[in-house]
Amino acid sequence: MKSSITFLLILNLFFNLTYAQVTFKANVSKNELGINERLRVEFTMDKDGDNFTPPSFEGFRVVAGPNQSVSNMFVNGKRTFSKTYTYFLSPIKKGPIVIEQASIEFDSNIYKTTPINILVKNAVKLPTNPNDPNYVVAENLHLVAELSKNKVYINEPVRVMYKLYFAENIRPSDVNPIDVPKFKDFWSQNVETRRTIEKELYKGKMYNYVLWQQAVLYPQRAGKLKIAPLTLDIQVDVPTKRRDFFGNQIYTQVSKTISTNQRVVNVQPFPEQGKPSNFSGAVGKFSFDLVTSKSSLNATESLQATLKISGKGNLKLFSIPELVTPKFLERYDPEYSDNVKISLSGMSGSIQNTYTLIPQYRGKYPIPPINFSYFDPSSKTYKKVSTKEISIDVINGPIQNERKQNYSGNNINNENNQTAIGSFEFIKQKTSFKPILKKIFFKSNLFYFLIIIPFVLILFFILFIKFKPNQITSNHKKTEKLINSFLGKAKKNINKPNLFYESLEIALINYLKYKLDIETSELDKEKIKEKLIKRSVDKKVIDLFITILKNCEYARYTPSSQTSMENDYKSSVRAILELNKEI
């Protein structure tokens, strides 16, 4: 009797433990597949666990998922529960791949799946059955990259458009970018695109199409430059031969990864014949003007002189020539500004440098013509334009007698050293000595003078310390002026991500041109790094510059937070200040 009771207790405990056990397992659609096929992975549990953690799926690209489904059924009074997480994977390499463990938490316990071995083989032949949804999608869905030109010069714009074609019998329901081209060796700008459905002939057949992405590219070096393909993962609804109760067409969904072919642009170097010595990489059609805010003024008053380049071309990718001024016309660093619009045909608008000039003496100060050259790709020739000579008339002020006008372009040139004749003639060479009369020192004028003089000197010393120009303040003003001249526009646009990173990249490029004396064609990250290493710049400063440039590039394709923009601005300030110290 006792043995029977003990047996029943043990059996009851066994059933209770069995009921409490959680089943958590992983299943795959196949253990072997081709590199061009997809794998479905399901993680299923029979208890409603929490904190599901999938594996890393190393060796695969997740093209869809996780899709979650829950089944909760009562049959003959018994409850059956099931929760499933489903992923669709695309292999990115051949060979054996292990899908690691997934984990779930239930009643403070962690449960894990068993690793699964997968073998990825060579590409397999896809089915050609017209009724197979995968075959229908393969035949009726195309992603194409179109170029406006295949052969251009350095800094001549190229337009690239990515079009998604699909036949009328299918419909894309969800599109996710997988690989977005980075346009290496190009200066690029994405152009806003309205993704509306249009119709167009493609390979002799009428298709619907969506203009998915378009950009303007400016090649930065000569050679055959590759444009990396765009890859999209697309969920496509394909009609079946079945209909629902109301007679509506029933669709099945197919997942498809599709890429454009790799395109190549043949970039020609600038011709050497007739190349001007002052050519700085400007390509397009431009006009060049110098305008001053005043033609006459008094000495020590200020005027503004603006050098402006207008037209159509790579306006953001070259430097404005430097203003040349006479010797006694003091010139301050210019303030850069631009009004450039970027469309599918390229850049158009104007850029300008505004200088503040202050004459020191009375007289006439001619500003000589300034030359600017550019390359016109339509005529395949170099063009030269010049500003008109402008005269500044200083009416009132001190006169500088022996003033030698100089057009070297320096702000203030050193005056010629002159030998002062008779500089020591005031010293008498013959003297007559007289005896000093004895006087009472106490309460004499000298006595009071010697008592008062220390107090006067202390007062003068206090006033001198108080009103002496603070070197720290002076340095701070110089630093602030340097930052504002290059990063001022970026700071104004810090709440507008696209404009901020665009103006920040231009500011850093202009600063590197100014500091390293390099041309636009040399503005490659590796070449910049080489130049800085040759100048013995600290590695941390070099890495900081390269990182910021990369952030500007990545910001064209990914959204940026306010914190990221503020950090990149602060990093740019630090990078410019550190580089300014070292060079």
Q: How far is C-alpha 56 from the geometric centre of its chain's CA atoms? A: 30
Q: Around 342, how many Cα atoms within 13 Å sit in the side-chain half-sphere? A: 22
pLDDT at residue 445 tops 60: yes
d(CA 88, CA 70): 18
* Span of 200-204, 277-281, 378-382, 534-538 with lowest mean pLDDT: 534-538
For 374-394, what is each residue's pLDDT tens digit? 999 999 999 999 999 999 999
CATH topology for 284-394? Immunoglobulin-like (2.60.40)
Domain 20-121 is in which class?
Answer: mainly beta
User: What percent helix, strand, coil does the chain show, rounded to 5?
Assistant: 25, 40, 35
Give residue 271's identity as a one-letter amino acid code: P
Domain ranges of the chain: 20-121, 133-268, 284-394, 471-582
pLDDT of residue 15: 44
Decide which of 284 and 521 is more confident: 284
d(CA 493, CA 486): 13
pLDDT at residue 371 tops 80: yes
Confidence of residue 129 (pLDDT cuts 50, 70, 90): low
pLDDT of residue 115: 92
Highest mean pLDDT among 8-17, 268-277, 414-423: 268-277
pLDDT of residue 476: 52
Query: What is the average pLDDT across 433-455?
Result: 71
Decide which of 2 and 264 is more confident: 264
pLDDT at residue 515 tops 80: no
Q: Around 434, how many Cα atoms within 13 Å sit in the side-chain half-sphere? A: 3
Q: Per DSSP, what are the bridge partners of residue 110?
A: 105
For 554-580, what is each residue's pLDDT tens digit? 665 555 666 677 778 888 888 888 877
390 contact partners, CB below 8 Å, separation of at least 6: 290, 292, 295, 305, 366, 367
**What is the CB neighbour count within 10 angstroms for residue 133?**
20
**What is the enclosing helix (H) or strand (E) of 213?**
strand 205-219
Question: Can 20-121 and 284-394 be said to share one CATH topology?
Answer: yes
Decide which of 482 and 226 is more confident: 226
For 84-128, what is each residue's pLDDT tens digit? 888 888 888 888 999 999 988 888 888 889 999 999 888 776 666
For 175-226, what is each residue's pLDDT tens digit? 888 778 888 889 988 888 888 889 999 988 999 999 999 999 999 999 999 8
Contact predicate 305/354, CB 8 Å: yes
